[in-house]
Copies of this chain bind each other. A is one copy, B any other.
Amino acid sequence: MLIMKRKITLKQIARELDVSISTVSKALRNSVEISDDTKQKVQAFAKLYNYRPNNIALSLKNRRTNTIGIIIPEIVHHFFSKVIRGVELVANKRGYNVIVGLSNESFAKEVINMEMLANGSIDGFILSMSKETLQQQDYHHFNETMSQGMPIVMFDRVVSDVNCDKVIVDDFNGAKNAVKKLINNKCKSIALITTKDYVSVGKLRTQGYLEALEESKMIPQSELILKIDDSLDYEVHLEKLEAEIEQLFKSNEKIDGVFAVNELYALSAMKVARKLGLDIPNDIQVIGFTDGVLSKHATPSLTTVSQHAQQMGEKAADLLINKLESENDEEEERFQTLVIPTELIERESTK
């Protein structure tokens, strides 16, 4: 059985060494006010008992916790977990901790989570909005939090109605370049598999698709655009997804290229294509979005648009911490939007 020794405090050291608390505190911080003798004595004692200042007490005194809160819709997700990794990396490097809240795509949980953390637990937020929040367009919790002096950095799923720092992917150009790649590869009939429009990123990617077609004087055809209702969890409705795609392929046999706004749609498209006896990439070429583990390990491996999720997390964390540590108020008032360029990662699903 181990001996229980509770964490030692300044007060206990002071009592033990028969000096005041102030003296101990100063001695440990190597203050010139304290004689070398006393310093040595105190520091030796502190080391012996492995003294560490209590973070909570420090937070209360300094009115800053050196902790940042990150709120995301889902953590079992390649993109979001990579963002967290980026945040944690620079947060740790700069002396901050990271506290995680999951909204699970629910507006109510997002609000609860933020209120729980905003009462002193953290110094600022990094967050990506839930789908429900995007649909309801209710942003009062963001504005209230900010009006109490707590900075917010939003990433990926952002909205222009909220005035704060943002880190976003260049969804429009990412999509556009992907589709242009298909066009350059001689695709004549390119399908789009996307989400309903309320998800901001889905909308932008759709626009990129359209723009690419237009620039190449190709006429967008509505029957080539499949809009999936992703309010239902597509992980469990795989068959439904595949059925819709199969329908798309069957009623448009000339399709020789597919751009999908996420990995799963792209993989499903490949699966359906194979089922219909189409060869990838010879009969049909496929490009997805998000460089996740699926794209890499699929057969054939999937050409995709990488979002540099980790870099997004890093930038967001730097933005937030810079704001937290900026002296001048001017800096604190100016909001910026960082756009992370995408990168087309070519693999086997395209020529």
Contacts and interface: CB of A to CB of B under 8 A. Distances in A.
Interface of A: 1-7, 50, 52-57, 59-60, 65, 67, 75-78, 81-82, 84-85, 88-89, 92, 97-102, 113, 115-121, 143-144, 146-149, 264, 267, 271, 274, 293-294, 297-299, 333
Contacts of A88: 75, 100-102
12 contacts: A2-B143, A5-B147, A7-B148, A50-B144, A56-B121, A57-B60, A67-B99, A75-B84, A75-B88, A78-B293, A88-B102, A89-B102
Nearest to A51: B119
A51 to B, nearest CB: 10
Given A75-B81, A85-B75, A3 B147 contact: yes
Nearest to A310: B76
Given A294-B294, A297-B294, A299-B274, A6 B149 contact: yes
Contacts of A99: 67, 97-100
- Top 5 nearest A-B pairs by Cβ distance? A54-B120, A55-B120, A56-B120, A52-B119, A99-B99
Contact of A54 (B119, B144, B297, B299): B119
A95 to B, nearest CB: 9
A52 B118 CA distance: 9
Contact of A149 (B4, B102, B121, B271): B4
A107 B52 CA distance: 21
Instruction: Name the residue in A81, A147, A274 with the highest tally of chain B Cβ atoms < 10 Å from its Cβ.
Output: A81
Which interface residue of A4, A5, A56, A92 has the most chain B CB atoms within 10 A? A56
Contacts of A117: 97
